[in-house]
Amino acid sequence: MPDPHDCPGCAAPDLAFAAHDHTHCAHDALERAEAVTAATGARMTPVRRRVLEILLEEHKALGAYDVLARLAKEGFGNQPPVAYRALEFLVEQGLAHRIQRLNAFTACVHPGEDHAPAFLICRTCHMVAEAEATAARASLDAEAAKAGFQVERSTIEALGLCPNCRGQA
Q: How many residues comprise the chain?
A: 169
Higher pLDDT, 141 or 3: 141
- Cβ distance 97 to 130 under 8 Å? yes
**What per-residue confidence (pLDDT) applies to 97?**
94
CA distance linking residue 149 with residue 155, whole number of Å: 16
Summarised one tens digit per residue, pLDDT across range 80-114 is 999 999 999 999 999 999 999 899 999 988 887 88
Q: What is the assigned CATH class of domain 8-168?
A: mainly alpha
Question: Residue 81 CB: number of other CB atoms within 10 A?
Answer: 11
CA distance linking residue 126 with residue 4, whole number of Å: 23
Domain ranges of the chain: 8-168
pLDDT higher than 70, residue 21: no
Name the percent of the chain in helix, strand, coil, to the closest 5.
Answer: 45, 15, 35
pLDDT higher than 50, residue 1: no
The candidate with the shortest Cα–Cα distance to 98, out of 107, 111, 85, 110, is: 107
CA distance linking residue 11 with residue 130, whole number of Å: 7
Mean pLDDT of the chain: 86
